[in-house]
Amino acid sequence: MEFRITPPQSVDHAVENLTGPLTQRIGTTLSSFWDLMFGGVEAAAKKKQNERNRKVELAEELSKLEFIGELRKRLEAIPPDKRSEPDTQIVGNALMDLRYCMDKEELREMFLNLLTSSCHSDTADDVLLSYSDIIRRMTVPDACNLKLFAEQKRLPIVHYQYTYQKGSETALQNVFLSNPEYTDCRRQAISISALERFGLLKVYEDTRYIDKSQYDYERFRRTDEYFRIKEAAEQDKQIKAVSIYETFAEITPFGEGFSFICLPEKTVPVIPK
- Give the global pTM: 0.77
Q: What is the reported pLDDT for 273?
A: 42
Q: What is the reported pLDDT for 92?
A: 86
DSSP for the chain?
--------SSTT--S----SHHHHHHHHHHHHHHHHHHHHHHHHHHHTGGGS-HHHHHHHHHHHHHHHHHHHHHHHHS-GGGB-PPPHHHHHHHHHHHTTTTT-HHHHHHHHHHHHHHTBTTTGGG--THHHHHHHH--HHHHHHHHHHHHHSEEEEEEEEEEESS-EEEEEEEE----TT---HHHHHHHHHHHHHTTSEEEES--TTS-GGGS--GGGGGSHHHHHHHHHHHT-TTEEEEEEEEEEEEE-HHHHHHHHHHS-SSPPPP---
* Ordered mean pLDDT values, 10 residues apiece, the chain (273 residues): 42 40 59 59 55 53 70 87 88 86 89 92 93 96 96 95 89 96 96 97 84 88 95 89 93 96 61 40
